[in-house]
């Protein structure tokens, strides 16, 4: 009898739950190292700005998130194929993989920091597409809607008159949204059955 979970890459998929933890830990530790840092009023990128005491620690944390994200996407795509699902919502996460690495390698105030970090906004398409392409996963649809709503609050950064004194808070809405989405994907796909596995033969 073949294991019904064959083809679901649980090891790589579970790495998705580590990404938010590494990112949050990096923010907290770098904020402490930098000193006099307010997470609600200052942007995340300031933690890794050129010449700061936390620059190299911040860079290392973001590069680790990027590496984990790449492996996470590979695991998701393999698992989507095994379960007979579209890989498109998973592939969109590569925008995060690229942008967080770019933001790490080219810190503020370098112009490439903004240019290479910009694709991260495409990450909202992952839960949005999941709503359309993964409708046969009811719990996933609910979490996709919640994650999309929270991530969308991050676009308040483009509205300076809304919460104008708290740009860091507005930016962190986006990070909270993708963190919830990654945790949801990691958990749900780790428990996903493999549609290619044959039915067990009666004995």
Q: What digits encode the pLDDT tens for the residues 109-128?
A: 999 999 999 999 999 999 99
3-state secondary structure the chain: CCCCCCCCCHHHHHHHHHHHHHHHHHHHHHHHHHCCCCCCCCCHHHHHCCCCCCHHHHHHHHHHHHHHHHHHHHHHHHHHHHHCCCCHHHHCCHHHHHHHHHHHHCCCCCHHHHHHHHHHHHHHHHHHHHHHHCCCCHHHHHHHHHHHHHHHHHHHHHCCCCCCCCHHHHHHHHHHHHHHHHHHHHHHHHCCCCCCCCCCCCC
Domain range annotation of the chain:
10-190
- Predicted TM-score of the model (pTM): 0.90
Q: What digits encode the pLDDT tens for the residues 44-61?
A: 999 999 999 999 999 999
């Amino acid at each position: 009898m073949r294991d019904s979970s064959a083809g679901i890459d649980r090891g790589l998929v579970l790495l998705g739950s580590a990404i938010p933890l590494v990112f949050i830990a990096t923010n907290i530790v770098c904020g402490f190292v930098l000193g006099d840092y307010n997470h609600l009023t200052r942007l995340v990128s300031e933690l890794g700005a050129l010449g700061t005491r936390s620059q190299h620690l911040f860079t290392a944390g973001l590069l680790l998130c990027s590496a984990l994200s790449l492996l996470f996407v590979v695991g998701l795509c393999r698992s989507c194929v095994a379960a007979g699902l579209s890989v498109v919502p998973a592939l969109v996460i590569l925008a995060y993989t690229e942008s967080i690495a770019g933001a790490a390698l080219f810190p503020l105030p370098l112009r490439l920091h903004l240019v290479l970090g910009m694709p991260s906004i495409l990450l909202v398409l992952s839960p949005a597409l999941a709503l359309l392409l993964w409708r046969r996963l009811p719990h996933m649809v609910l979490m996709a809607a919640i994650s999309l709503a929270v991530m969308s609050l991050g676009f308040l950064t483009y509205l300076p008159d809304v919460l104008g004194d708290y740009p860091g808070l507005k930016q962190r809405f986006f990070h909270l949204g993708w963190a919830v989405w990654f945790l949801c994907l990691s958990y749900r796909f780790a428990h996903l059955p493999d549609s290619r596995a044959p039915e067990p033969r009666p004995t």
